[in-house]
Amino acid sequence: MKSDATGKFVSNELHGGTVQVSSPGENLGATFTVRLPLNFVAKEQPSHDSPSESMTNLTGIQILVVDDDADMRELAAFILTEFGAQVTTIASAVEALTFLNQSIPDVLLCDVAMPGMDGYSLIQQIRKWTPQKGGGIPAIAITAYAGEINQQQAFAAGFQMHISKPFEPEELVEAIGQLLHPIGQGKSFKYQSESTPHTC
């Protein structure tokens, strides 16, 4: 099973790390927690704390991933937990609304092309809520469509950022870091290699 494969990867490749999965109940998603040994964490810490590097530390950040693709949910959860985040995965927008009525995460990562209620409708519904109820939650749209029109559609709906599939782990983590700690003006985010500046 895929969950077994993920656990083995964490155990073998991360030198003694463990992964735990828990769920508060049916249709309420699952939370992935990865624990790494202290010697591994120390080894992976950067030697200097530049703004771009500090963004990759997601320790304690609660992230809700909404995607009807099970493989994409598992991939996003594994990437983000590896960087210290607490991740809850949900398969539909309707389930996400139920979850958000009970708990407000720090970041929403949402696919836009889902059956039934899509990601655009989900974020539009969320933006109608008061900030106290989660209406201002930082949100990133994930989509297979990378055109300018698609980006503008995501921004108009209420997302602050837009990332196209497939994405690199560093791209996803750095986008979340920038969303939580803005370093420039504007809504769009385009990931580039470290040798070139980011465009905001």
The closest alpha carbon to 67, from 30, 114, 29, 107, belongs to 114
- pLDDT single digits (tens) 167-186: 899 999 999 999 988 754 33
Measuring CA to CA, how many Å separate 137 from each of 25, 27, 150? 23, 21, 21
Give the chain's end-to-end CA distance (angstroms, integer).
Answer: 40
- Residues 59-84, mean pLDDT to the nearest whole number: 94
Structural contact between residues 188 and 150, judged by C-beta atoms closer than 8 angstroms = no
Q: Is the pTM of this model over 0.75?
A: no
Mean pLDDT of the chain: 76
- pLDDT single digits (tens) 6-22: 443 443 444 455 556 66
Q: Which amino acid appears at position 197 of this protein?
A: P
- Residue 139 pLDDT: 97
Counting beta carbons within 10 angstroms of the beta carbon of residue 26, is it exposed (0 to 12), middle (13 to 18) or buried (19 or more)?
Answer: exposed
| For the chain, percent of residues with pLDDT exceeding 90 | 52
51 or 161, which is more confident: 161
- pLDDT single digits (tens) 108-131: 999 999 999 999 999 999 999 999
- Residue 32 pLDDT: 62
* Polymer length of the chain: 200
Please state, in angstroms and rounded to a whole number, the distance separating the CA atoms of residues 143 and 31.
23
Residue with tokens 């994930």: 142
Domain 2-38+55-180 - what CATH class? alpha beta
Return the number of other C-beta atoms located less than 10 Å from residue 2's C-beta: 11
Strand partners of residue 107: 63
The answer for 80, left when phi > 0, alpha when psi is -120 to 50, beta otherwise, is alpha
Taking each helix axis as running N to C, give the angle between helix 93-100 and helix 119-127, from 0 to 180 degrees, rounded to the nearest 10: 20
Judged against a pLDDT cut of 90, whether residue 50 lies above it is answered with no
Residues 6+ apart with CB under 8 A from 184: 198, 200
Strands of 148-193 (E only): list them.
Answer: 161-164
- Residue 49 pLDDT: 43
Instruction: Provide the 8-state DSSP code for 56.
Output: T
